Amino acid sequence: MSKADAPLKAVLQSAVCPDEVQKQRFLAFLEKKYHTKVELIWEKVETGDNGFCLRVGAEVYDWSVKGRFEQFREELQKLSETSAPVIPLLKNTINAWMPESLSRELGEVISVGDGIAMVKGLEKATYGEILVFPGGVKGMVQELGPDGLGCILFGEDDEVYEGARVLRTGRTAGIPVGEGFLGRVVDALGSPIDGMGEIVADGYRPVESPAPGIIDRSPVNRPMETGLLTIDSMFPIGRGQRELIIGDRQTGKTAIALDTIVNQKGKGVICIYVAIGQKNSSVAQIADSLQKRGCMEYSIIVSASASDAVPLQYIAPYAGCSLGEYFMEKGRDVLIVYDDLSKHAIAYRALSLLLERSPGREAFPGDVFYLHSRLLERAARLSEAKGGGSMTALPIVETQAGDVSAYIPTNIISITDGQIFLESDLFFSGQRPAVNVGLSVSRVGGSAQTKAMKKASGSIRLDLAQYREMEIFNQFSSDLDEMTKNQIAYGQGLMRLLRQPQYHPMRQFQQVLTLLVALDKCYMKIPVDQVQEMNQRVLRHLEEQLPEICQRIQEEGEFTPQDREELLREARQFIAGTGGV
């Protein structure tokens, strides 16, 4: 008999041998299912009940008490992932549920180590599907090879061993979502790690989902104010934009992201901070800082720390993005920070090398660009038909010695809508935030600014560029004419005004008034070290004397030429009255 004509072997495991009638029923069921001749082999197994277990290759029909209970447990699991009221559904499920002859595909672990399990036998498993290992450890299929599957494990692999059975779930990786996550710190799988008890979820979302299509998007034209004068005036960020924060370590990248979160207080924006590969102490410090300033009530922290398994670090930003999409699709505005994608890429490289994928440039796999593009493209401002919500992404990338031409930085620069480049020399000279005005850019530009900010910011970038040229020239000459000295003094005053302490965001009207007065060169005669103090005094004076104009700028984002003249006249008189000091 040829191999093709050999009957399919099926193994029936039960405590009692089936009689001839029962055997014929089994054979009829199997031949109808698999459309081929079947040879039925009986094995005696003490199941402790009258049930049986039927194995056909990698598929198992478990009709024991344990198997039927597992079916019911899966029905409850599916039920828990819906957003419908649970109690009525639970009653209906219990009353209506009947066990079915469902096959379960089983695999076997070939090898395990470093958070990776190689599995054979699951021929129908799909990429991204969740598998269940011994001890309840879950993993996700990451590699579909001719000899088996490569699976990343979301837990300790102590209980996973060679030869262990692996079960398919038929579901992709997901995370619970809901309003209950606000104010909480969770891990990459949505489990709370802040010691504040369980979180009641409103639903369940896959961690990987397609980005909104072109028709489903609206133009990015509403500002996402950071409260930082440097950024809001020159590199405005819009709701739905992806703006990269890039720079060497310890240059204030995270500080900019946290200031932006603090500035959303009272503006109805949901903030999600994703910490990838950071120390637990650093994440705890960030949570404490946000809590003290009353920002945790609208914030969520998703943490996959350096001590967590590499697969959790890989999946964390996608999990955070799914949380954000839940709120975005409800018509709300979301700000999400990925801190940082350099560590995310390194985690993915480690997984890929362990899965024996071919290494490319800097040992990264060939699909490392797609790793981040499919994440960042999910940030968008939705059309009114889709609810009008938005998700703004602030990915953070760390450079080495200011090299923005490295592999991962260039990839992410090409995906995002602009970058804020932080420079070490500026940081150590006391210019904080240390934004390099020449290398930073926002490709959305003035579309994401209010009319008031657009008018007030005027020529600030050009003035700062001229100052940088004069400063370089000043290094080679001590004999300068009066005009050059004035230009340098003006530029130094502007740079000093752009200095801003952390956790002290400026309101829109304060930024507008600062720019109007500074660009009118009202601070030209004031010593550089006194410019910031004078500006604070001027802002307080204008808010007291002209409250209507200040309120109009803050609420409507607009001012008239008459408002401008009145503000500048009042500012000049105040500065002159103080003796310019």
Q: Look up tokens 């996700």; give the residue.
A: 140
Ordered by start, the domain boundaries in the chain are 8-63, 104-172, 176-449, 455-577
- In the 3-class helix/strand/coil scheme, how is 139-190 assigned residue by residue? EEEEEEECCEEEEEECCCCCCCCCCCEEEEEEEECEEEECHHHCCCEECCCC
CATH number of this structure's domain 455-577, picked from the four choices 1.20.150.20, 3.30.300.130, 2.60.40.10, 1.20.1530.20:
1.20.150.20
Number of alpha helices (DSSP H) and beta strands (DSSP E) in the chain: 18, 20
Task: Please tell me the CATH code under which domain 104-172 is placed.
Answer: 2.40.30.20
Tell me which amino acid residue 89 is: L
Name the 3-class secondary structure at 562. Answer: helix
| Nearest-angstrom CA–CA distance, 101 and 185 | 42
pLDDT one-digit tens code per residue, 39-92: 888 787 776 666 777 777 767 776 665 655 565 455 555 555 554 454 454 445
| Nearest-angstrom CA–CA distance, 381 and 239 | 7
Tokens of 447: 């579309």
Per the CB < 8 A criterion, the answer to whether 35 and 100 are in contact is no
Nearest to 382 by CA among 246, 504, 222: 222
Around Cβ 349, how many Cβ atoms within 10 Å? 22
Tokens of 415: 């995906």
Superfamily of domain covering 176-449? P-loop containing nucleotide triphosphate hydrolases (3.40.50.300)
* Residues pairing with 203 in the sheet: 177
* Residues pairing with 41 in the sheet: 11
Angle at CA 540, nearest 5°, toward 445 and 265?
55
Alpha carbon separation from 46 to 15, 49, 51, 52, 58 (Å, rounded) = 5, 8, 10, 10, 21
Where would I find the beta strands (DSSP E) of 399-477? 418-422, 441-442
- Interacting residues of 580 by C-beta distance below 8 A, sequence separation 6+: 525, 526
Name the 3-class secondary structure at 290. Answer: helix
Alpha carbon separation from 229 to 289, 399, 538 (Å, rounded) = 22, 24, 16
Pairing relation of β-strands 333-339 and 390-398?
A: parallel
Length of the chain: 581
Tokens of 191: 């489990």
Catalytic residues: 443
Around Cβ 374, how many Cβ atoms within 10 Å? 17
The sign of the torsion formed by the CA atoms of 60, 62, 67, 73 equals: positive
Per the CB < 8 A criterion, the answer to whether 453 and 233 are in contact is yes
The sign of the torsion formed by the CA atoms of 531, 537, 541, 544 equals: positive
249-275 burial, b for 16+ CB within 10 Å, e for fewer? eebbbbbbbbbbbbbbbeeebbbbbbb
Which helix (H) or strand (E) is 12 found in, with range? strand 8-14
User: How far from chain centre, in Å, is Cα 542?
Assistant: 40
Q: For helices 482-497 and 460-474, give the axis angle rounded to 10 degrees.
A: 120
Each of the 581 residues of the chain gets a pLDDT tens digit; together they read 455 567 777 777 777 787 777 778 778 777 777 777 778 887 877 766 667 777 777 677 766 656 555 654 555 555 555 544 544 544 454 444 444 545 567 889 999 988 899 999 888 889 999 998 887 888 999 999 888 899 999 888 788 889 888 988 888 889 999 999 999 999 999 999 999 999 999 999 999 999 999 999 999 999 999 999 999 999 999 999 999 999 999 999 999 999 999 999 999 999 999 999 999 999 999 999 999 999 999 999 999 999 998 999 999 999 999 999 999 999 999 999 999 899 999 999 999 999 989 999 999 999 999 999 999 999 999 999 999 999 999 999 999 998 999 999 999 999 999 999 999 999 999 999 999 998 999 998 788 899 999 999 988 989 998 888 887 777 666 667 778 888 888 999 999 999 999 999 999 999 999 999 999 999 988 999 999 999 999 999 999 999 999 999 999 999 999 999 999 999 999 998 876 54
